[in-house]
Each structure stands twice: as C-alpha cells, then as structure tokens.
Amino acid sequence: MSGVQWRLILSGPADGPTNMAVDEALLGSCGGGQSPPTLRFYTWSPATASVGRFQDLQEEVDLEACRAMGIGWVRRPTGGRMVLHDRELTYSLAAPRALFPAGVVDSYLAISRGLVEGLRLLGVDARAASPPQGRASLAGACFDTPSWYEVTVGQRKVVGSAQVRSGGGLLQHGSVLLEFDASRLVRVLAPGRRGPDPEALAEFLGRRATGLWQAAGRRLSPSEVAQALAEGFARALGVRLVEGGLSPAEAERAERLKRQKYLSPEWNLRPAPRPARGEG
C-alpha cells in the first residue's frame, strides 16, 4: 500500500444513527471501489450505547436508564459487544478487503499497528493486546477484557474495535477512550448484565480499562488525538492521507440508511441474528 492516497474525513459530533449510517455507506463505496480507502474520525452527541449486530439490544442495555440519562442507543453494523460512546473519539476505516490480510485476526493486527503508532506519538506507551485464549468475560461490556490485538496501556484496554466484511469491503471502527467512567457504563447495562453488585462490577471494569487523559497525564482534545492517529495510520500502512468529505452519493446513501435502518426499531430492537463466518 506504500504511497497510495487515502481519504481522511474529520467529522463533527453526530448521533448514533447518523454515525452508523455514514460508516455503512463508506463500507459500500470504499469496498466497491467508488471511493478511495477512507479513515474517518468522529464523536457522538448525545452519548450513545451501541451494541454489536449479533446482540439483542434489550438484553444488553437498560433503555429506561438511557432515557433518564439522555443517552441514545443504536445497533452497529459490526459485531462485538456493548460500548458506551461518551468521552471518546471513534475511528472508522473502510477499504477493499483485499488490502488487508484474509484472516480476521491478522487484519485486526495490521490496523492495530496504526492505532499503536498514533498513540505513541502522543507519548502513550500503547501496545497490541494478545491475551491468552479462553479468558472469561465477566460482563457484557466491550471494555471488560482485551480481545486479540486490541490496544492496551499497562494491560488496561484503551481502544475497543469491531469489524465487518461485506462483499469486497472491510469496515473496522473502534472507540478510543479519552476518559473511562466505569460507574456510568454499569448504569447503562441491562439489569441482567449489571449483576447483583453494580459497585463491584464498576470497580472490576475500572481495573481493566483506562482513558488517554489518565495514560498521557494530560487532557487531550479529540482533534489532537485524531491528528496523531491519522499520522500513525499513515506511517503504519504506508499511505498518504488527504482530507476530504463524503461524496454526494455517499451522503445520500447515508441519509437513506439512517432513515430506513438505523432509526428503525426493526433494526435496533430485533432479535439478534447468528453471525456469519468471518464476521466479528
């Protein structure tokens, strides 16, 4: 990929349905060759609980608590577990799947190298996690334990990612924590996921995840983190990033996906389907 030009999109804050619709639109256009491979950064307003496409949202998220706290919810097009998108920056990468290794784990590793390189530019000693197989998960939240080749600082997770492959395209997006509030996350979990001792669960999660503000010892703005991560991806993937925006066709498709899919109860509240091979 050395010297290849990619598009960089620096989006402003948006709600969950908008963010997921844009990511899916990019998966189609970039994966199909209508647009160049694209790296996008964005934030969420309001804060939003997202679940993986193979989860049942009502089994994972306390919708009444979300309403009371002003938190939205959405089902992602990717797999993975529940994430509370709050004080964070999200990255998404959409490209032809042929640009990355065929194996899911190997493609995660290739993308993680860009994240690690970018965080190190911020003075954060980040690493790609390789936990032992069979490690148990104690909660339904993404930041419970690191998965293969997700990004940690001092063995505490700081970036959680999820991926989907569709046709010839690959989409991976992930939550880059600025500040991690375990108690707020636990309040959003459905009662069955929260367990009998929410305070103990919050303490457990707080030992397993951290935010960049704590890791760097200073408050980093989303734009500062985005610029560093963009440089990290450019170096790790050997590409040149040129800032741009959505094409008219992408914007139109994203708006249609938002209305017809990501705002609909049929998508967000449907029973979870079984994952297809290679999706996660």
Q: Which of 93, 111, 142, 236 is catalytic?
A: 142
Extract the tokens encoding 58: 């009502």
Contact between residue 184 and residue 65 where contact means Cβ atoms under 8 Å apart: no
Helix residue ranges, H only, 177-263:
182-188, 191-194, 198-206, 212-216, 222-237, 248-257
Contact (Cβ atoms closer than 8 angstroms) between residue 185 and residue 91: no
Check: CB of residue 187 under 8 Å from CB of residue 69: yes
Contact 175, 168 (CB under 8 A): no
| Neighbouring residues of 46: CB distance < 8 A, sequence distance ≥ 6 | 15, 70, 71, 72
Task: Check if 66 is active-site.
Answer: no
70: left (phi over 0), alpha (psi -120 to 50) or beta: left
Tokens representing 267 are 């998508």
123 and 216 in contact (C-beta within 8 Å)?
yes
Contacts of 259 (CB under 8 A, 6+ apart): none
| Catalytic machinery residues | 142
